[in-house]
Amino acid sequence: MKELSGGELTKARLALMSRVRSNFLIFDEPTNHLDQKAKDALFKAIEEYPGAVILVSHEKDFYDGLVDRELRF
């Protein structure tokens, strides 16, 4: 794992996370280091996730249309 790039590491962590059942997810800047294909896959996965999600992101283009509520700080 220590030889992976930032994007590869993020993809590996997301893959590991998908193997654990949960009803609540928290993402802190999940699109950092991801290419567009990976961002599209992440968007779809969050969109289809049946539980609650808290998403922290500065990338409005990513989360626009995905969230029910937006809090700006």
Alpha-carbon distance of 69 to 52, in angstroms, equals: 12
- pTM assigned to the model: 0.75
- Is the pLDDT assigned to residue 58 strictly greater than 90? yes
- Within a domain: 18: yes
What CATH number has the domain bearing residue 45?
A: 3.40.50.300
- Report the share of the chain in percent with pLDDT over 70: 100
Q: Sorting pLDDT into bands at 50, 70 and 90, what band is 11?
A: confident
**27: domain range?**
6-63
Q: Sorting pLDDT into bands at 50, 70 and 90, what band is 56?
A: very high
Residue 39 neighbours by CB under 8 Å, 6+ apart: 31, 62
Q: What is the pLDDT of residues 12-35, one digit of tens each?
A: 888 887 788 889 989 999 999 889
- Within a domain: 68: no
Alpha-carbon distance of 16 to 10, in angstroms, equals: 10
Q: Nearest Cα to 43, choosing from 52, 24, 30, 28?
A: 30
Chain centroid offset of residue 15 CA: 11
